[in-house]
Amino acid sequence: MSKILIVDDETDISELISLHLSREGHDCKCIANGLQVMPSVIEFQPELIVLDLMLPGQDGIQVFKRLRADSRTRVVPVIMLTARAQVGDKIAGLELGADDYLTKPFSPRELVLRVTAVLRRIQKIHHVSEVRAGELLLDRKNMKVFSGDQPIDLTTTEFKLMATLMENPATVHTRADLLREVWGYNDDVATRTLDTHIKRLREKLGPAGNHILTVRGTGYQFTNTP
Amino acid sequence: MSKILIVDDETDISELISLHLSREGHDCKCIANGLQVMPSVIEFQPELIVLDLMLPGQDGIQVFKRLRADSRTRVVPVIMLTARAQVGDKIAGLELGADDYLTKPFSPRELVLRVTAVLRRIQKIHHVSEVRAGELLLDRKNMKVFSGDQPIDLTTTEFKLMATLMENPATVHTRADLLREVWGYNDDVATRTLDTHIKRLREKLGPAGNHILTVRGTGYQFTNTP
DNA sequence: GGCCGAGGTGTCGAATTTGTCACCGCTGAA
DNA sequence: TTCAGCGGTGACAAATTCGACACCTCGGCC
């Protein structure tokens, strides 16, 4: 369930990749032009970039260098796609710090595996410590939530739930998803704890509580703009 | 109060920098040889690197590239030092994504200002969610501590205490410091809670518990090498 | 060796946290 | 309009967490 940006000139390949990654629950966006990369990354805020080195008009390596040169995009992991012939590029890419690479042609399954591996590896290492949403601010480092300047005391479970919701705003979190992420329930348990905790969160958040929307029959959703 | 690695061939400059940064409360380490950079970074885990581009034997730019190419070191911000003449280097460095640069000669005050600025900027964006120490691993994201593969369940307070200790290993944390950071006690309260929690931590950590050293009359200290 | 004080440890009660349950209101489909 | 079911809510009881305290051990100084 990660946001992935696919940068490839060949739109059919992009779409194929996108299709397979979407099936895994990822949120994909495709762009064909290297010039769009920086703005797209800053706007879309992908958690992973799949970058074809064969881009029209400009070198994929240049695009990559620019990604790594900007502190806003530096930490985003990149998987490079290279044609088998471009050995030089591949080496250059890895030297510059690509997180993985794939030589064309490759099977979609292979790509999915690499993506999963990189995400798992990367997500364990970095994450954003502060999440902002309107007047709300989630501070992981100090395990606190602020509504404006006012700190809101949350218990551990409440905080985890809040963090899970805030981290992916505007997406619906299934009851099962939340129970898995926050409580570690892997099988589909019938429990009302989630409801109770949502209630407690809303209570403590006060007016900001209406950032948490109910999606009837499915789960809950955090919205930046209540 | 950040860990800063200074990489400079000229030891007198290193020492000058180190002196001024230490006065600001930072924890500095100096190395003169570019080859030591990677191991030093991985061991010392600095939050900022001051890198002189004039290194004996090898190019500072190469060192920098290697830092950015490794996922373990990629996010560590770098301030580059360049001689005024090396305009080409400076440009190359910025293009590659240095976080700031300084041309020699510079005043210590200037450097301190830059360091402070970069730290403030960077710390707001990312922080390391995982802290490693020997077989121990602190995982902020999931609020867990692992001893090897084995997860150790900690309560919120225990986790905060553990995190505070692990984040600055090899430094002595005063009782007052810990009570302030973990419990928020600002005035000097006489309490034994800290002792009790240290005991509980050691208990739960099992053999790894001897990472936590007692500094008699002062406080506690976390050590990477028990 | 004896003493003093710092720190280790076991235990207890209060406070907090958490999951369950019963009851109710609301929603949306028929 | 009706009704089944989903979700909101208040109450409650079990479990956990936390800080205090008493007692003990150990290190350092005389």
More reliable by pLDDT, A140 or A218: A218
ipTM of the complex: 0.51
Mean pLDDT split into 10-residue runs, chain B, 226 residues: 85 86 83 82 84 72 79 77 61 62 74 74 52 76 76 87 82 81 76 90 88 86 77
Specify the pLDDT at position A195.
Answer: 92
Q: Do domains B3-125 and B157-222 have the same CATH topology?
A: no
The third-level CATH classification (topology) of the domain covering A3-125 is Rossmann fold (3.40.50)
Helix (H) / strand (E) containing B25: none
Tell me the CA–C1' distance in angstroms for A218 and D6.
10
Alpha helices in chain B (DSSP H): 11-23, 37-44, 60-69, 87-96, 108-125, 156-167, 175-178, 193-205
Q: Between A81 and A100, where is the model more confident?
A: A81
Q: What is the mean pLDDT of chain A?
A: 78
Q: Which pLDDT score is estimated for A24?
A: 75
List, for residues A14-56, the tens digit of each pLDDT value: 888 888 888 777 888 998 887 888 888 877 888 889 988 876 6
Q: Which tokens sit at A18?
A: 């996108």
A149 is near strand C: CB distance < 7 Å = no
Nearest CA in chain A to B155: A156
Indicate the domain borders of chain B: 3-125, 157-222
Give the C-alpha separation, A2 to A51, whole Å.
16
A30/A165 Cα distance (integer angstroms): 26
Looking at the complex, does the CB of residue B110 fall below 8 Å from at least one CB of chain A?
no
Torsion A157-A219-A188-B142 (CA) sign: negative
Q: CA A20, A22, A27: angle at the middle one, nearest 5?
A: 140
Q: Give pLDDT, residue A5.
A: 92
User: What distance in Å separates the CA atoms of residue B165 and residue B170, rounded to the nearest whole number?
Assistant: 9
Query: Token pair of A210, please?
Result: 């209406």
DSSP-derived secondary structure letter, A64? H
Residues of B in contact with A68 (CB under 8 A): 68, 74, 96-97
Interface membership of B109 toward A (CB under 8 Å): no
CATH 1.10.3720.10 holds for B157-222: no
Q: State residue B191's pLDDT score.
A: 84
pLDDT at residue A194, as a whole number: 92
Query: Distance (Å, rounded) from C-alpha A53 to C-alpha B171?
Result: 46
Put simply, whether A71 touches B (Cβ < 8 Å) is yes
A132-173 confidence digits (pLDDT tens): 677 888 877 677 888 876 888 898 899 988 988 887 777 788
Classify domain A131-222 at the CATH class level. mainly alpha
